[in-house]
Amino acid sequence: MHVAIIMDGNGRWAVSRGMPRQAGHRAGVTAVRRTVEAAPRFGISVLSLFAFSADNWTRPRSEVRHLFALLRSSLREQSLHCFENGICMKVIGRRDRLPSSLQDAISDAENLTRSGSRLTLRIAVDYSARDSIVDAAGRLGEVPQASRGSFSYLLSQVTHDSGRMRPVDLLIRTGGERRLSDFLLWESAYAELYFTSLGWPDFAEADLEAAVSEYRRRERRFGGLPA
């Protein structure tokens, strides 16, 4: 089962409590840890998290720097834990615009955890689904025959996502918004959508369980008729 999460509401969570936005991002890291730990218990084999979108570059430079520093330290702190628990970490999205220290942390984490088979954790950084689709479309001449499979392969190449690209089964968005915000548009063609008003820092194991339970109650027909 592939679950994707748009982790929204960190800044608003902090501001509503009289704290700086950075405090919300730090609390969000804790929510990531407990979600990653809980995911395999609910039958999740691939977990994709939207950490930083290509449009987030428009935020204040100080906030962007803080986000990258937080991501870098989290990758370094959690990579050994992931290795010991069979979790394979991958970062998808552009890398050429990221600070070199963050690029190094990404490579180190991916290399250390590449053998993990219990859970694949995909973190989207400087990611835009539309930009990725445009880039992949520009490379269609590299394959002998265009198909959904060949396009998926090209899409995985431009996003640094090695291996077979799995469709999203369940897409969760926290923070009260009800939109996809340019996240995994190709992979989410038939995803079940689940929205919650909880800010990401408040998202707990019970909330993940509730989302998965709701998903399992839905009938997925993929354009066909009920069984």
Kindly list the averaged pLDDT for each block of 10 residues, start to end, along the chain of length 227. 96 93 93 96 97 96 95 94 96 95 97 95 97 94 87 90 84 96 96 97 97 94 76
Q: Using N-to-C axis directions, what is the helix angle for 61-84 and 21-38, rounded to 10°?
A: 20
Amino acid making up residue 191: A
Angle at CA 202, nearest 5°, toward 201 and 205? Answer: 110
Catalytic residue among 8, 161, 169, 182: 8
Q: Which domains does the chain have, with CATH numbers?
A: 2-217 (3.40.1180.10)
Q: In the prediction, which pLDDT does 220 show?
A: 86
Q: What pLDDT sits at residue 160?
A: 85
Active site residue: 56, 108, 135, 202, which one?
Answer: 56
Q: What is the pTM of this model?
A: 0.94
CA distance 109 to 36: 15
Active site residue 8: yes
Structure confidence at residue 223 (pLDDT) = 80
56: annotated active-site residue:
yes
What per-residue confidence (pLDDT) applies to 6?
Answer: 98
